[in-house]
């Protein structure tokens, strides 16, 4: 099943697949906020550094399995694999967009089966 995804989400997934931290950060607004494992990363530089470190440390891959949206909010459910305990794991990426950029991303364990 192919998911219909907005351009900014496709760009984010492509950047992750290519381990391109600069392209990943470019999907976010200048003042964006990422929350991952209860830690906050604010602004494009912090987001770029976070994803660069995560990719180097965990060698992660994402396989989106579900997408839903309402207005400027969306949830991507993805199976994430890599060099970490519990891999693979289903995660929900809670996105808020503004002007075709991601303004907020919170990553949580998925309730999806």
Per the model's pLDDT, the better-predicted residue between 3 and 16 turns out to be 16
Residue 111: per-residue pLDDT: 83
Average pLDDT over the chain reads 93
How far apart, in whole angstroms, are the C-alpha atoms of residue 25 and residue 68? 22
Output DSSP code: residue 66: E
Residue 112: per-residue pLDDT: 62
pLDDT digits (tens, 9 = 90+) for 24-58: 999 999 999 999 999 999 999 999 999 999 999 99
Range of the domain at 39: 7-109
Per the model's pLDDT, the better-predicted residue between 101 and 113 turns out to be 101
CATH number for the domain harbouring residue 61: 3.10.450.50
Give a yes or no: residue 45 inside a domain.
yes
How far apart, in whole angstroms, are the C-alpha atoms of residue 90 and residue 26? 25
Give a yes or no: residue 83 inside a domain.
yes
Helix (H, G, I), strand (E, B) or coil at 112: coil
**This prediction's pTM:** 0.91
């Amino acid at each position: 099943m192919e998911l219909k995804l907005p351009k900014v989400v496709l760009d984010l997934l492509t950047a992750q697949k290519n381990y391109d931290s600069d392209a990943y950060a470019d999907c976010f607004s200048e003042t964006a906020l990422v929350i991952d494992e209860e830690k906050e990363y604010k602004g494009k530089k912090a987001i770029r550094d976070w994803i660069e470190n995560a990719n180097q440390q965990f060698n992660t891959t994402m396989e989106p399995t579900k997408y839903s949206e309402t207005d400027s909010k969306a949830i991507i459910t993805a199976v994430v694999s890599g060099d970490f305990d519990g891999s693979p794991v289903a995660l929900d990426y809670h996105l808020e967009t503004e002007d075709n950029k991601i303004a907020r991303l919170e990553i949580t364990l998925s309730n999806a089966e």
